Amino acid sequence: MNENIQPQQDQQETRSRKFWRVVLGSMVGFVLASIIVSVLSILMFLGMIASLEKTASSAMSSSANVKDNSVLVVDLSTPIAERAVEIPFDFGSYAQQSVGLDKILASLKSAAGDSKIKGIYLKTSTVSAAPASIKAIRDALMEFKKSGKFVYAYSDVYTQNGYYMSTVADKILLNPSGDMSLKGYAFQLMFYKNLIDKMDVDVQIFRHGQFKSAVEPYFLDKMSEANREQMSTLANSLWQVFLQDVSKARNISIDDLNNIADNLLCSSPKAALELKLVDQLAYADEAEKLIKVKLNLGENDKPNYVSLGQYAKTLSEKDGGGQKVAVFYAFGDISDGKGDSEKGIYSETFVKEFRKVYKDKDVKAIVLRVNSPGGSALASENIWHEIENAKAAGKKVVVSMGDYAASGGYYISCNSDYIFAEPNTITGSIGVFGMVPSLQRFLKNKIGITIDEVGSNEHASSGGIYRPLDELESQRLQASIEDIYSTFTKRVADGRRMDVAYVDSIGQGRVWAGSDALKLGLVDELGNLDKAIAKAAELAALDSYDVCYYPKQKDWFSLLFSVKDDAVDAAVRARLGQFYYMFDGMQQVLGCDGVQARMPMVFTIE
C-alpha cells in the first residue's frame, strides 16, 4: 500500500513545484520586461527631446531668414504682456502665440534700420493691452516712420484702441462694410452689495483713504462721491492723451474730435471717411494691392510678409561682458513668499533675484520696470527694503512705469533715484485696506449649519470667517491699517523729498494718470523704457554699456510643461469675455491675505 501512495505524493510535489516555477518565472519575466520597457521609454523620451530641440532650432533659423523687400506685419490682436516667452512651436488652442511688449518695441526699433524691411502692414482691429502699453507701441511706430519707410493700416473694424494705434499710418484703410468706434472713455464698475446681502454674508471693511475704493463694491451699490471724482478725472486724463495724439496725426481739432464722440457721428465707414478719420474705404485685397504698388511689384507678384513674432526671433541680446545697465521686470500682483516671476511679483523670489543683480560688480545701474496694481503691503515693504539695499551698494535705481504702478506698485517705486511714467500710466493709489468676511449668517440661514467654538483665550479665533470681529478686534485691525498707511506715506515722503502732510493730501488711495502724477511730483518725467535706460546710464556716468534683462526667462522646454495652466486661464478669459476682468478682480480681492496696498481695480479700455 505504501508503494502505491509514494508515487502520488511525488506527483503532487511535482505539480506544486511546477506551479511555483511558472509563477516565479512569470514574475521575473514581468520585472525584466518592465525594466526593458522603462529603458526604451527613457531612450525614446531623450530622442523626442533631441528631435524637439532640432525642430526648435530649425524653426528658429527658418524664422530668422528675412527675405529682401519684406513687409513687417504688425498684428496686435493677441494679449500683450510685458514679457512673453518665445515658443518655437504652434500648440494650437493650448497656447496662443503672443509677442511681449519688450520684443514688440525691440522689433520695431530693429526694423527701422533693417534694409530688408521696407515697411509695416498694421492690423489693429483690436489691441489687447492697457493704455500705456498701447502708447508705447504707437510711439515706437512713430520712431519707425522717421526711417522713411511706409506704414499702412487696414482693418474690417476699428475699436478705439485699434484706431488710436492706426493713426500713425501714412494711410488708414477701412472695410466699406466695416465699423469704427469713436465715443470716448468710460469706466463701468460692478457692485456686489445686494448679492452679498441676499446671501447673508457680512463683510467688515477697514481702510485708510477716502479714495481707496477697491472694497466699495462690497458695501455700496454705487460709486462714492470720492470714487466718482477720481474715476471721472482719470477717464478725462486718459482721453486727453488719445485726443492730443489723434488730433496731431489726423490734423483734426480736439473740439471736432469731441464733437464726433459726443454726437456719435462716426456711425458708418462712409461717415468715417467724410470726417477724415480714415483715408480710404477698401477691402483687404485692395489694401495689399496698395502695398504691392509701394514695393514696385507686378500684379502677379506677392509681397514677402514677415510676422512680428517671426521677426522677434531674429533679435538677440547683446552682452559684451563689460559695464551693464540691468533692466529688472516686476509685473503682476505683489504677493508674499515664493512664486513664478512670470506670473506675479513674489517678495522672496524678487529679493533673491534682485540681490543677484545688484551684487554683480558689472551692473552699475538698474532700471526697475514696474507694471503692477499692487497687493500685499508686507511684501511691498520687503521689496522697498531690498531696493534700499541696492542703493546702499552703490547702484543707481531708475523706475520705468508701465500700464500700472499703483498702490503697492508705487510703494516699490517711490525710493528710486528717478521715476519715468507714460502720460497714461495709472499710478498713485497711496492707501491700504483690509477686508474680513464672516459666513456665520450665510451658513445658518441658507444651508442650516451653525458654528460653536472654544478657545484658550478670549480672541483665539479672531480673524476667522465663521464669526464677525468684535469691537476690540476691529479696533486692533483698524490701528494696524493706520500704522501701515503711516509707513507708506513716510516711504513716499522720504523717497520723493516731500512733506508727509502733502503726500497724505494727494494720497488717500487716489489713482492718478501719469500726466497728473508728474504735476504732483509723484514721478520725475514722462517717457518710455528707453529713456529710463538712458537716464540710468547717465546717473551712473556710463559712456558705453550693455543692457541686460532680468529675471532670466524660462526656456521654451520648461514652459512646455506649464502651458496647460495658462491655457485654462485663456479658456476662462475666452468664455467670460469682458466679465473675465470682473471675475478676476473679485477673485484677487477675496483671495487677499493681510493688509493690502492695492488699487481699486484693473482697468480695461476699448
Catalytic sites, residue numbers: 212, 407
- Say if residues 72 and 114 touch (Cβ distance below 8 Å): no
How far from 347 is each of 351, 400, 480, 485, 591, CA to CA, in Å?
6, 19, 21, 19, 17
Bridge partners for 75 per DSSP: 123
Q: In whole angstroms, what is the distance from residue 262 CA to residue 484 CA? A: 43
The number of residues making up the chain comes to 606
Q: In whole angstroms, what is the distance from residue 488 CA to residue 504 CA? A: 10
Q: Nearest CA to 101 among 319, 416, 351, 327? A: 327
How far from 573 is each of 70, 93, 230, CA to CA, in Å?
35, 13, 28
Radius of gyration (C-alpha) of the chain in whole angstroms: 30
Provide the residue type at 534 as one letter: A
The residues near 584 (Cβ < 8 Å, ≥ 6 apart) are 602
- For residue 551, cis peptide bond before it (omega within 30 degrees of 0): yes
> Which position has the grid cell 454705487?
222
The residues near 105 (Cβ < 8 Å, ≥ 6 apart) are 136, 137, 140, 528, 529, 530
Q: Is 595 exposed, middle or buried (0-12, 13-18, 19+ CB in 10 A)?
A: buried
List the alpha helices (DSSP H) in 400-528. Answer: 408-411, 440-447, 471-496, 500-506, 514-520
Retrieve residue 490's grid coordinates: 513716510
Helix (H, G, I), strand (E, B) or coil at 479: helix
Provide the residue type at 363 as one letter: V
The dihedral built from the CA positions of residue 514, 520, 523 and 527, taken in this order, carries a sign that is: positive
The dihedral built from the CA positions of residue 414, 236, 485 and 464, taken in this order, carries a sign that is: negative
Q: In whole angstroms, what is the distance from residue 479 CA to residue 94 CA? A: 47
Retrieve residue 541's grid coordinates: 556716468
Retrieve residue 93's grid coordinates: 488652442
The residues near 143 (Cβ < 8 Å, ≥ 6 apart) are 108, 109, 112
